[in-house]
Amino acid sequence: MANAQDLAAPPEIGVQSKNIGEESLAPQQTRIMGRTSYLLAWMGGCVSIGTFTMGSSIVGTLNLLQATLAIAIGCLVIGVALTINGAAGYKYGIPFMVQARSAFGFTGTRFPGIVRALPAIVWYGFQSWIGAGALNAVTATMFGFDNLVAWFIIFQLLQIGLSVLGFQGIKWLENIGAVFILCSLIYMFVSVINRFGAEITANLVNVEGTWGLPFWGATMLFLGIYSTMILNVSDYSREHMHGSPPSLLVTIYSMSILPVTLFMGLIGLMVSGATGVTDPIQVFANAVDNKPLLIVTLLFIAFAQVTTNVLNNVIPPTYVLMDIFKLPFKLSTVIVGFLAFATFPWELVKDESAAGLQIFVQTYSAFLGPIFAVMVVDYYLVRKRTLDVTKFYDEAGPYRGVNWAAIIASLIGAVVALTFSAVSWYASLIPAGLIYWLLMQYWGPAQRFRA
């Protein structure tokens, strides 16, 4: 983890620095998020509708206690992983795509960048369709206007417009949204218990469940929702003001993610366990028992998709496009928004898609875990937490081209992970990290990147 020297502002960096209101790959000099703002931003940005689906997918596998502990363990692991991998961005103000140059090289960063961007774009389209469905249900109920495709287009254009505002706009959107989101989830959680108490007791409490591999696989499912963010956490940590020790950062991350994930995962589990419904809109509709509250709940769904998408599913692929194609920030956000149209999200919300989404999370986690391991080993063991950031912006310098040690280690880690798909993210860490360290120590072609 980071130590005391990582808490203060980094030394002057001889490259054009990123200032407030300017979104670029340059080091961030002016930090805009204090501790409270940072916690609320993560809380508002973690309302992934996929968490409901993951909750639905473990019905019949775990009982209610086991599911609660699985979510809590997953969130604690997330908090530690975010702190570890976000240390470089926090100290030096660099985003993920620049941080990755240390291990993968200038050209090699396209591999982790694309691996990170693809799940984000899929989740972007999926959550936009859910948000549009919620708005369509509101207008159909209140005014008789029922056109889901039109709402999807409108909703997506709205999110593109908000994304163009950059982190300054995202900060206020997340901070305001977090309080509303948490209150809404608490209400829905209580409503579900009151409405389906008998079914929950019969189907989820008075069952044996398991503490074996499926239990640890469930911790990884809820962790897997955030494994994308674990990879590019530097995109966010570079916006957080200096002075937070590692223990406090673990607390901020875990305590922002835990309540939202716990309520969402358990609501999905309880409603699906009681009714058999897995479609997120129907899950919410079954969570409340009168029309006014249903409308408020549906509006919550739509709002929650915006807060999550603009933070977690727009920024990462936007920075990837900026790095690979040298595009400006605003144009990149627009392109990402239109790419989300091509994910066919209407196919992902079907009842039979819950199991498919589980496989999707396990599969992309199998690639994200090894990349995370490589970056952590590179920063802590190879670089000893000291970076010459000026070289990260010199395309003709020592980080030019591809560091095949990082690519090889990541792919071997992914093969191991896919072999143990139920716990893919966990299984990939040691093989990928160890192989990368050995190659960087003893393989000739990798020595240039040790400079």
In this predicted structure, the answer to whether residue 292 has a pLDDT above a threshold of 90 is no
Contact 391, 359 (CB under 8 A): no
Residue at 41 is within a domain: yes
Residue at 335 is within a domain: yes
Residue at 447 is within a domain: no
Comparing CA positions, the residue from 406, 401, 402, 399 lying closest to residue 438 is 406
d(C-alpha 150, C-alpha 170), whole Å: 25
Residue at 83 is within a domain: yes
Residue at 64 is within a domain: yes
pLDDT tens readout for residues 163-188: 887 766 666 666 666 777 778 788 87
Return the ∠ at Cα 419 (arms to 444 and 443), rounded to 5°.
5
pLDDT tens readout for residues 376-424: 999 999 999 999 999 999 999 999 999 999 999 999 999 999 999 888 8
Residue at 415 is within a domain: no
d(C-alpha 162, C-alpha 176), whole Å: 14
The predicted pLDDT at position 137 comes to 87
Residue at 221 is within a domain: yes
Write out the two tokens for 61.
């596998």
User: pLDDT exceeding 70 applies to what percent of the chain?
Assistant: 87
Length of the chain (residues): 451
The predicted pLDDT at position 161 comes to 87
Q: What is the CATH number of the domain that holds 92?
A: 1.10.4160.10
Write out the two tokens for 369.
């875990």
d(C-alpha 92, C-alpha 27), whole Å: 7
Comparing CA positions, the residue from 80, 42, 412 lying closest to residue 259 is 42
Residue at 219 is within a domain: yes
d(C-alpha 223, C-alpha 15), whole Å: 36
Tally the domains of the chain. 1
Range of the domain at 52: 34-102+121-351
Integer CA distances (angstroms), 253 to 123, 249, 290, 426, in order: 21, 6, 35, 19
The predicted pLDDT at position 348 comes to 64
The predicted pLDDT at position 287 comes to 63
Kindly state the average pLDDT of the residues 99-115.
Answer: 96
Torsion of CA 133, 135, 136, 138, to 10 degrees: 130
Q: Is the pTM of this model over 0.85?
A: yes
Residue with tokens 């963010």: 229
